[in-house]
Structures are given as structure tokens and as C-alpha cells.
Chains A and B, each alone.
Chain A
Amino acid sequence: MPEESPRIQYLSGKFGALILDSHALHGDETVVICREGLLEIVRSLKEDPQMDFDFLADITAVDYLGKKEPRFEAVYHLLSLQSHRRIRVKVPVPEDQPEVDSLTPLWKGANWLEREVWDMFGIRFRGHPDLRRILLYEEFRGYPLRKDYPVNQRQPLIPERPLAGTFVDTRSDNKLLQLKQKAEHKP
């Protein structure tokens, strides 16, 4: 077990029970925190001169379906422009209530990143000013980066025309297409 970094020690001293876990695997300092404490802890990471993580590098999520409980994890990567240190903040998010606080009050850049997580994982961000899909279209159903979203699922906005003599994906487990074909066979 490697020695804990002074920053993680400082954080666990300050927030105690809100910090669930911490590690520095491969040199990436990581804290796992309660989702109730997200805004408070990240604000302190940003504004506390001892931490000074003033740059939000990335927001993403991971779906640990069947591997971990709770199912989702929101992942934040912060950077200090002064010392060039990085820290990763992970927040477990349960499946039945996929919701975390938005970081848009702290960084405007969180806006698009959180919209992408909402789009791909269906995790809601409380307090987000404009939580809409970003890469996909509004009519899209489901969240494609969830592990239970089928890879071959197609959701065309305009019905696809079957073209005779061209490539047809027979492996497709496309439920929509199958349903449509069934409906067509029925007189």
C-alpha cells in the first residue's frame, strides 16, 4: 500500500466520512466521494489555495453493470494550472436514482461535458441550465453507452428502405426492425 499523498490526507481530514475511498494507482491520485458532498468537495478542490485545482479537464461516466454496486460512476478529472498536478474524483451513482449535482456553477465548461454524460448514460445533473442531448438527437430512446444497450440497435429517424441485392446485416438484433418486419408480415 503506497503512502497517501498529502492532498488526499488533507481532503480526508477535512471531509472525513464524505470520502469513501482513495488510491493512487499508476500515479493517478483518485478520491471516491459521496454524491451528497460532490459540490462542496469540488468547490474546495477548486478554491482552497492548498489544492488549487482550477481547471476542469474532463467529465465522464462508467457503467459497471453487474460488476459493482452502485451501478454508475461519474468521473471528474481536475488539473492545477499552477503545479500541473491532476486529481480524479469519482462519484458512485445508483441505478434507481441516477442524479448528481451539476458542476456548472463552478465551471461553465461543465455544461457540454455533462450534457454528453446525460446523452450517453442517462445520468441527470441537478441544477444544469440546459440538460439536453448533445451528440444524439432528441427523439433517440435509451442511453447508448449503458452496458445493457445492444450494440447493433439502430434507431433511424427516417425509416430505412430495404434495398434488394445490397448488404443486409443479418446478425442485427435490431428489435425495432424485427418488430417492423413482423408487423409487415401480418396481413
Chain B
Amino acid sequence: MKPEPKELPIEPMDLQMGPSHPATHGTIKFNLKLEGEKVLACETEVGYLHRGFDKMSEQATWTQVIPYTDRLNYVSPLINNVGYALAVEKLLGVETPPRCQFIRTIMSEISRVTDHLTCCGMAASELGAITAGFYMIEARELLMRIIEAVTGARLTISYVRIGGLKHDLTPNFAEQVAQAFRKVRQLLSDCDKLLSRNRIFIDRMSNVGVISRETAIDYGLTGPILRSTGVNYDVRKANPYLIYDRLEFTVPLGTQGDNYDRFICRIQEIEQSMKIVEQALKNLPPGPISLDDPRVVLPEKEKVYNSIEGLMHHFKIIMEGIQVPPGEVYFPVEGGNGELGFYIVSQGGGKPYRVRVRPPCFIAMGAFHEMIKGYMLADIVPTFGMINMIGGECDR
């Protein structure tokens, strides 16, 4: 007798992905519930890189926090520096000279380009497009060299100071940038040919990780993820800071809210950022790069060694810290991944009472289960890649 064909039992399977997984460029763990290859539920565990940024900042003087901010989003550290410095300056009630504002804008935008290049390049190479990945990393390297020439470091740059900058741009900065941008544009057009109409790439990215406009707002998503759903929200346009209100640029928007739109948004933002840098360089005014205020900015070394006042100001800032009046401010800037906000509380004195960062990719990771629900296990890789989670910023 032939046995009756039995229905195969389908039981949901639990799978732990991470905390150290080759396709997750950050330490993070997904507790997945799978039905076959379909993701039924995903629970995200973060915090593996928690170092206590907030607590450390409370022990340091206002200036000493700047190196800590480098280590938040370490693929675009200049934006973190700028955001923190702007928040403290808002609390101090001071405004930096025009040249400083221009340089901060230029460096922020170069940083944004490196951020997007890292994100897109890594996402592409994780999907097998390793050539495009290397092209983008090469483009990033060109800009990293410029950043290194100006700041002296590649990632942990600590370039911005409260009330100014560490030092001025290099003398041939404009030429270097023009040269690098020419090559970056070339590489990007190559990548465009490799990826944008590539069947495999589109199949993996398009209609994957879709999030609706309403859900994106519900979860507080910002940056390219929110803009890929068609919401026109960019802090540079919404609450302009530095010189963004005087510059011409557009905010690229998507329609579908899927990974492909996020990718295209980021690639188009690279072009916009390069335009911003070119405009700012064209109009770069001469003048001082730091405030002329001995209570905030360290005096020149010549004054320190040759006058008692200079030595006193130097000593006061180093030993006691900049005296910031009591109060609280929230200052948002547009980071590579979205709204990067600094909420700073001062109780007077040389140390911050509370430094809180609104980390855009922490909030995006909070919506990850929503983005991946109902898709395949392999779709986690591009979806996670396009969030661009940076452990330093997510876990602080």
C-alpha cells in the first residue's frame, strides 16, 4: 500500500544573525524568526559599541568633548564636530567669522560625500558589485587625502574648535578639490554605468526594504531614508545653519521608499554636495578663521609666550575650560544619515552638564524590523547597508 503523502511541517525557525557577521559592517545582532527564507519577525539588538559618550562628555571640558564627537559617526566626523561646536556657540551666543562658516560648510560637505560613498560603495560590494565598491572607495580616498592634508588625520580629525577652527585650509586647497572632484565625477559616472541599470543590482535593491511615508514619519526617520519616501525634509533647508541659506542646491527625493531610491538619493546628494563645495570655494571670503574673543578661543602662541594676558587666557581655557552660561540648547545639523542633533545643558562652568546626541542611525535601526518584515533573509544585507549604521553613532 502506498503511504498517504503527508504535508511537510512548516515551523518558524529562529536564527541569530550577528553580532559579528561579515555582511553587517558594525557589531549588531538580529534575532530572526524565519519561515523558510522569509523573515516573519526581526528583533534588533544594538549596544555592542557603547562607550558612554554622554557620561564621558560630562567629565571633560567643553573643548575636550570635540575628540569624542569625532568618534560618533566616524565616516563623516567633520559634521559631528561642526554640529557640536555650533550647539555650544549657540549657548554662548557667539557667531563665528564668515570665513570660518564657509570652511565649516565646505568640510562638512566633503565629509558628506565620503559618508555617502562609503555607504553606497559598501552596499554595492556586499551585493557582489565589488568593482563599483572599489571605485567608490577610490573616490573616497581622494577626498580623504584632502581631509588629511587640511586636518592632519583621516577619521579622527578634531578640526573644529568652539569659536573657530584648528587652522586654515591648505594654500592649494581649491586646486586639489577641483582635481579630486573631476576624478570623483568620473568614477561616479563609471559606477552609474555599472549599477544604476544593472539588472542584478536593481533586482536586489528595488522594492526591497520598502517603508511608507507615514511609517517613516512615525518612526522619526530622517536623512536619505525619509527622503526616499518623498518627504522633503533636510535640515540644511528646513532650519538653515552656517551659510546653507545662501547656497543653491536641491534636495533629491525618492518616491518608492525602497533601497534603490535610498541609493539614488545618496548618489544624487553627492553631486549636490560637490556643487555646494564649488560654490562656497568660489565665494570664500578672506579674514580670520576664529573669533577674536579670549574667553572662547585660545590666544596665538606668540601672545601666550610674550604677554601675561595671553598666558592667563591660555591657562584659563586649558585649566578651567570655556565658561558657558547656564542654559540648554538643541542644535540640529544634517548628518550623512539624517538629522544629527545636539542637546546640550550647561549649569555654568567649564564642563558640560549633559551632552545628548540625537543619533540618526540609532533611530533608523529602531525601524529596521518594519523594513525587513516579509522579505527574504538575503534582503537584510542591502537594507541594512542602505541604513548605513555606524556603530560609533548608533551605540555611542
Instruction: Name A's B-contacting residues (CB within 8 A).
Output: 25-26, 28, 30, 54-58, 60, 62-63, 67, 75, 77, 81, 84, 86, 88, 107-109, 111-113, 116, 120, 134-137, 144-145, 149, 151
Contact = CB atoms under 8 A, between A and B. Distances in A.
A86 B219 contact: no
Contacts of B328: 25, 28, 30
B220 A55 contact: yes
B304 to A, nearest CB: 30
A135 B54 contact: no
Main secondary structure of the interface of B (DSSP, over half): mixed
B157 interface: no
A135 B330 contact: no
Contact of A84 (B50, B52, B221, B239): B239
B349 to A, nearest CB: 12
B339 A57 contact: yes
A60 B231 contact: no
Nearest to B239: A84
Contacts of B90: 26
A62 B345 CA distance: 8
Interface in B355-391: 356, 358, 362-363, 365-367, 370
A109 B54 contact: no
Do most interface residues of chain A lie in helix, strand or loop, or is the interface mixed? mixed
Contact of A107 (B59, B218, B395, B396): B218
A134 to B, nearest CB: 6
Contacts of B343: 58, 60, 75, 77
Contacts of A25: 327-329
Interface in B218-236: 218-221, 231, 233
B354 interface: yes
B47 A86 contact: no
Contacts of A112: 362-363, 365-366
Nearest to A137: B47
A144 B52 contact: yes
Nearest to A144: B55
B395 A81 contact: no
B332 interface: yes
Interface of B: 46-47, 50, 52, 54-55, 59, 90-91, 93, 215, 217-221, 231, 233, 238-239, 327-330, 332, 339, 341, 343, 345, 347, 353-354, 356, 358, 362-363, 365-367, 370, 395-396
A137 B221 CA distance: 25
B330 A88 contact: yes
Given A58-B356, A60-B356, A151-B59, A135 B327 contact: no
Contacts of A54: 217
A70 to B, nearest CB: 16
A151 B358 CA distance: 22
A150 to B, nearest CB: 10
B332 to A, nearest CB: 7
A107 B316 CA distance: 46
27 contacts: A25-B327, A28-B330, A55-B220, A57-B220, A57-B339, A58-B358, A63-B354, A77-B343, A84-B239, A86-B332, A88-B330, A107-B218, A107-B220, A108-B367, A108-B370, A109-B218, A109-B219, A109-B363, A112-B362, A112-B363, A116-B362, A135-B50, A135-B395, A135-B396, A137-B47, A144-B55, A151-B59
A88 B358 CA distance: 14
A144 B59 CA distance: 13
A151 B356 CA distance: 17
A62 B358 contact: no
A69 to B, nearest CB: 15
Given A55-B217, A60-B343, A135-B395, A28 B55 contact: no
A77 B220 CA distance: 11
A111 B215 CA distance: 14
B367 A109 contact: yes
Question: Closest 9 CB pairs between A and B?
Answer: A109-B220, A112-B366, A135-B47, A84-B238, A109-B219, A58-B358, A135-B50, A60-B356, A108-B218
Contacts of B91: 26
Contacts of A56: 220
Nearest to B216: A109
A62 B353 CA distance: 9
A81 B46 contact: no
A120 B93 CA distance: 30
B98 to A, nearest CB: 21
Nearest to A56: B220
A86 to B, nearest CB: 7
Contacts of A111: 366
Contact of B327 (A26, A81, A84): A26
A86 B345 contact: no
A144 B221 CA distance: 27
